[in-house]
Amino acid sequence: MLDFLWNLGAFVVALGILITAHEYGHFWVARRCGVKVERFSIGFGKAIWRRTGQDGTEYVLAMIPLGGYVKMLDERVDDVPDELLSQAFNRKNVWQRIAIVSAGPIANFIFAIFALYIMYLIGVPSIKPVIDGTKSGSPAAQIVVKEPLKIVAVDQQKVLNWEDVNLSLVGHIGDKEVSLSLVPLQNTGLEKPTTYQLDTRQWRFDPEKELPITALGLEMFQPDILPNIALVTDNGAAKKAGIQAGDTLVSINGVLYQDWNNFVSLVQASANVPLALTVERKGEPLTINVTPIARENAQGQIVGVMGIAPTLAPWPDNMRLQLEYGVLDSLGAAVNKTWQLVTVSLKMIGKLFTGDISVKNLSGPISIAQGAGNSANVGFVYFLGFLALISVNLGIINLLPLPVLDGGHLLYYFVEVITGRAVPEKVQEIGFRFGAAMLLMLMGVALFNDFSRL
């Protein structure tokens, strides 16, 4: 229940910030173009707070925080007094209307840059992208790993941490090949990177179940795994049996604990089979019977899952990375990161239509709420990064040429620029109905996916 409330609160805060940024873009440019704004609303439905400013605009905070709007004076919507006709949106020239409509998505991109700028000023603790092996039979199997290797570029694009690598690889789903450039972790800086061209024609995976990094066959360097249990998941087999965080693994079915990988292999091979797990709790041995729950893994195999996570030894100092820049450099880093998010998001939309990405990967408000809660729980800088990601996607989605979105309005206005005549009202109405149906269908699929992941 507490997790639900935390996720809901983080979701409302995140969505409120992003909607405010988007609608303020419309509002600010509309005012500069001489359009009278009658209402600036964050949320829909019944108002829980309202105030009329000296500019005559009514500012509203509404009960349903799933959107917002800027109501402008418009003859197509209401009767407009003759003395106010010059301030009506529909009386403005087409380029002014284009500027007003496009200002919302542009504001989302600007906000993403701002959020990332603050994030880089504060500094983001991170881990270098180092591998210590590859999986046989995988696209990455050709990489010879005799010592830990650091990934420095994906398709000539520089990467600094695992997040960069993951983001870059996602954009190559469905491509025929991808290149990785690597150097030894202990390099002096003089060695030239070794670049491998990986054949990814058979690279298929479910992003909901597996990272593109591990699906490619890269074995991420991990610090030593200790036998101490760090986390016991709610509703898992271990939790139901009485295992607690802080317990130390001693033996399983009478065989002394050797290492975590061995332990995981035994648990996975014991779906719905009781296991006698001996742990040490407060210095005393305790034997508990645990029955791993059967789950389907990324390869479609049924494996046992116990619902515990081990304690990791501290990361070595030479593996740690602090992404922190100065006042000017942070701006450059924020712009570059925003551009990367934009390009990857556009690629993903394109691959959705080509079939390289399944519609099962669409996420709705429940997934976004979980992401908001998780990022806020980890720390403020990670929440800023999450806001930037969602803001970029909100900007891109609003630019899609669906008539109910900003992109649909822009499509009509650009047709007007080319033809010299406004698109007929009947044609616009048909477009709006089609766009609304498409949007509702996409929202329905996203919500279905959200519920199926619960």
Beta bridge partners of 203: none
Rounded to an integer, what distance in angstroms lies between the CA atom of residue 222 and that of residue 260? 12
Q: Is 124 left (phi over 0), alpha (psi -120 to 50) or beta?
A: beta
What local confidence, expressed as pLDDT, does residue 67 receive?
82
Confidence of residue 31 (pLDDT cuts 50, 70, 90): very high
How far out from the chain centre does Cα 270 lie?
34
What pLDDT sits at residue 104? 94
Is the pLDDT reported for residue 126 higher than 80?
Answer: yes
pLDDT, position 371:
46
Please calculate the CA angle 345-4-306 and round it to the nearest 5 degrees. 85
With 90 as the cut, is the pLDDT of residue 32 above it? yes
CA pair distance 276, 40, nearest whole angstrom: 62
Task: State residue 366's pLDDT score.
Answer: 44
Q: What residues are labeled active site?
A: 23
CB-based contacts of 36: which residues, under 8 Å, 6+ apart? 56, 72, 73, 84, 87, 88
Confidence of residue 96 (pLDDT cuts 50, 70, 90): very high
Between residues 162 and 11, the one the model is more confident about: 162
| pLDDT averaged over every residue in the chain | 83
Would you state the pLDDT for residue 452? 55
Query: For the chain, what are the domain ranges?
Result: 126-223+314-323, 225-312
Q: 443 falls in which pLDDT band (50, 70, 90)?
A: low
The model carries a pTM of 0.78
Question: Which one-letter DSSP state was computed for residue 402?
Answer: -
Q: Residue 364: is its pLDDT beyond 60? A: no
The label of the residue with tokens 């081990």 reads 310
Span 373-391, pLDDT tens digits: 454 455 688 888 888 988 9
Superfamily of domain 126-223+314-323: PDZ domain (2.30.42.10)
Fold of the 225-312 domain: Pdz3 Domain (2.30.42)
What's the confidence (pLDDT) of residue 234?
85
The pLDDT value recorded for residue 369 is 45
pLDDT of res. 439: 67
Among 39-43, 183-187, 200-204, top mean pLDDT goes to 39-43
- CA separation for the pair 93, 71 (Å, rounded): 18
Structure tokens at 74: 């418009």
